[in-house]
Amino acid sequence: MANMAQAIRMALHYAEENLGVTDIFGEDVGAPLGGVFTATQGLKTAWNTPLDERGIIGMAIGLAMAGQRPVAEIQFADYIYNTIDLLKIAGNTCWASHGDWNLPMVVKTPVGSGIRGSLYHSHSFDATATHIPGWKIVMPSNPLDAYGLMISACQELNPVMYLEPKALLRIKGEERIPGEPEDDKSLSKLIDAPLGDRSQWKPQWPAELSAYAVPIGKGKVVRPGSHVTVVSYGRTLPLCKRAADELASSGVDAEVIDMRSLWPYDWELIKGSVEKTGRVLYVNEDTEVTNFGEHLVRRTVEELFYKLLAPPRLLAGKFVPGVGLADTLEMASVPQLGDITAAIRALASEQP
């Protein structure tokens, strides 16, 4: 099975060959590195930029306005914050021009903890991204969805923010991407650049890759259940699924939903589940103050108050300035398996 970085790479290859993607660029995105997580290795339209985040976003806006279809990368989301005003311009261009100007651009950036990246390589961006209207925002939790969401993103007429959970980029999937070779080692030999000299290396892309797409705005039930609803995305989604599976042996039946898209999001899926279970826990690793999950809690209270058997809960990252380098500091800063397990168990036991 492909890992998430390979899945993104194959989707971008398909997009540059079939969906009109014209430029894939950012710091170390082109040869020889192909991205710090190798998600752009071997792509024919990939090129390197200076270390200039504002230049990268500005270039993407300009190319999109000129009728191109760029995919820009900010190497780590920690460094996207000095582009907020440009992201706002990209988001409001279609609206401000009364629909005369579209910006078919994708900005991809690795987010979150999980690689011991410390202060400058561990921030989340989901809450901030959802504060910028005009963008569609996605975050996969597995390679198949990573492929499908990128295919969808590369067909949008207006900006898409593609958030890559960096802790999952090296994790292999459980479902095969359509067109992916059956043998994992064969895939690596075909599309992974060798160590050392790469000057003569060319990838051999799988011939059967397709336009498999995950619709933006559609979530997915990854584990059905009846006692409590758990809603998550990105790095924390697999942890929620694992916690729910472990709690089943003690009689707690948790339903787990992968949002996949933060905007637009699948409220009908969440709503139907909460109406069934009467309890909901929202989980993500962004800081807990002005967290996107707080919006979901507010909407749950406003629209589903009389369906609830317990107050809706949010489990999120601690409101601290950064994520520490030491294992203990990182693990104390963002939700871990034990935190999620305890939160689900406590919520399931609450009675009205």
Active site residues: 121
3-state secondary structure 27-72: CCCCCCCCCCCCCCCCCCCEEECCCCHHHHHHHHHHHHHCCCCEEE
d(CA 77, CA 86): 15
The pair of structure tokens assigned to 29 is: 């995105």
- Compute the residue count for the chain: 352
Contacts of 44 by beta carbon, 8 Å cutoff, 6+ apart? 16
Q: What is the DSSP string of 239-260?
A: HHHHHHHHHGGGT--EEEEE--
Angle between helices 84-96 and 53-65 (to 10 degrees): 20
CB 125 within 8 A of CB 147: no
**Residue 151 region, left (φ>0) first, then alpha (ψ -120 to 50), else beta?**
alpha
- Compute the Cα dihedral for 115, 119, 125, 126 and give only its sign: positive
Ordered alpha helix ranges (H), 100-159: 126-129, 143-153
Contacts of 34 by beta carbon, 8 Å cutoff, 6+ apart? 9, 28, 40, 41, 42, 43, 46, 193
Contacts of 183 by beta carbon, 8 Å cutoff, 6+ apart? none
Which of 271, 135, 282 lies closest to 125 in space, CA to CA?
135
Contacts of 123 by beta carbon, 8 Å cutoff, 6+ apart? 76, 77, 78, 111, 112, 322, 323
Q: Which amino acid is at 104?
A: P
The pair of structure tokens assigned to 332 is: 């104390």
